[in-house]
Amino acid sequence: MSRRPFRFLAHARDVASVSGLRETARHAEAVGIDTLVIPDHLLPQLAPVAAMAAITAISDRLRVTAFVLNNDLRHPAVLAQDLASIDVLSDGRLDVAIGAGWNRPEYDAIGLPFDPAPVRQARLAEAVAVLKGCFAEGPFSFHGSHYTINSYDAYPKPVQQPHPPFMIGGGGRRTLELAAREAQIIGLAPRLRVPGPDPTSVSFEGTREKIGWVRQAAGDRFEALELNIYPSMTAICITDSPLSEATVASERLRQHGIVIGAEELLDSPHIYIGTVDDLVAKFTRLRAELGITSIMVGAVGELDPVVERLAGT
């Protein structure tokens, strides 16, 4: 399996000032975080594009990305100009993380149609093609079901060529196959919503199955791909009583229709409950057995002792 060094991502979702971003960025750099991320939601938070630009001005080393951009909130050609500008201003420290959108209440709040998943996924695939066309040299045209581009030469062009790394993630086969064909970073997500919670999707073997879909769709490019995992379903918890904490989490999840036992939770790639040594061992196993080396560790500061042990190794 992969011997690619670990790369850790952490979010600054709750930061709402330039001084807070500066402090958070310095903390992230000091412990070995590689990438600072901003979620993309219509919630009490900074807008991701503006926040990413600010982070790159504050830091000389951190990469930035959204985790992840909701494709339905912006036209991809307009988004391309914003993202390319960040890549230029940061001397090439941008990752483009984008998804099909999933949080229906945000759509309803602003009167945006929440199309069925296949429609949103098809629109995402077209948006990726438009973004790459905008990032490339020279004018391009694109005629799809959702977007039409006519001899458009987008500016600025990103520093990273042919384009910044793309990250596309999901828990379903259709989205992961798109990611396998088009992205450089594959986000492995649990399937917890439509058509209903799938507890097997969050398990170690469920994650292995998703990687198999990616491998099959990627073909020869699979070995160059970076696999990402992130915490889900329950809070990160460094504890000397992991089984007890996992039992409480299991009972809480059962109330939401997700039936998964405490021991299976502890084994899940998406659950970060345990001692520092436990989590170091878990991440090391994820790399050794599944090839996962890109790990989202929650908010800056939540897993500092783990990141400090593994960053750069």
Quote the CA–CA distance of 58 and 90 in Å, as a whole number: 10
Strand arrangement of the beta sheet that strand 63-66 belongs to: 63-66, 35-38, 7-11, 292-299, 226-229, 185-188, 166-170, 96-99, 69-70
- Length of the chain, in residues: 313
**pTM for this entry:** 0.95
Strands (E), 115-180: 140-143, 148-152, 166-170
Quote the CA–CA distance of 180 and 49 in Å, as a whole number: 25
Quick check: 273 and 249 in contact, CB under 8 A?
yes
We report the CATH number of the domain holding residue 208 as 3.20.20.30
Number of helical (H) and strand (E) elements in the chain, helices listed first: 11, 13
Quick check: 62 and 30 in contact, CB under 8 A?
no
- Could you tell me the residue range of the domain that residue 279 belongs to? 7-310
The reply to whether 2 falls in a domain is: no
Quote the CA–CA distance of 120 and 308 in Å, as a whole number: 39
Residue 2 has pLDDT above 90, yes or no: no
The band of 289, judged by pLDDT with boundaries at 50, 70 and 90, is very high
Residues 256-271 have pLDDT tens digits of 788 889 999 999 999 9
**Average pLDDT in the chain:** 95
Q: What is the pLDDT of residue 259?
A: 86
What is the torsion angle, in degrees rounded to the nearest 10, for the CA atoms of residue 159, residue 41, residue 67 and residue 204? -160
Quick check: 101 and 69 in contact, CB under 8 A?
no
Domains of the chain: total: 1
Six-digit token string for 248? 């409480």
Nearest of 89, 105, 97 to residue 43 by alpha carbon? 105
Quote the CA–CA distance of 301 and 35 in Å, as a whole number: 13
Residues facing residue 186 across a β-bridge: 168, 227
Nearest of 124, 38, 42, 127 to residue 86 by alpha carbon? 38
Residues 147-177 have pLDDT tens digits of 999 999 999 999 999 999 999 988 889 999 9
Across 190-217, average pLDDT:
85
The reply to whether 1 falls in a domain is: no
The angle formed by the CA atoms of residues 104, 76 and 24, to the nearest 5 degrees, is: 75
Q: What is the pLDDT of residue 223?
A: 95
Residues 24-51 have pLDDT tens digits of 999 999 999 999 999 999 999 999 999 9
3-state secondary structure of 292: strand
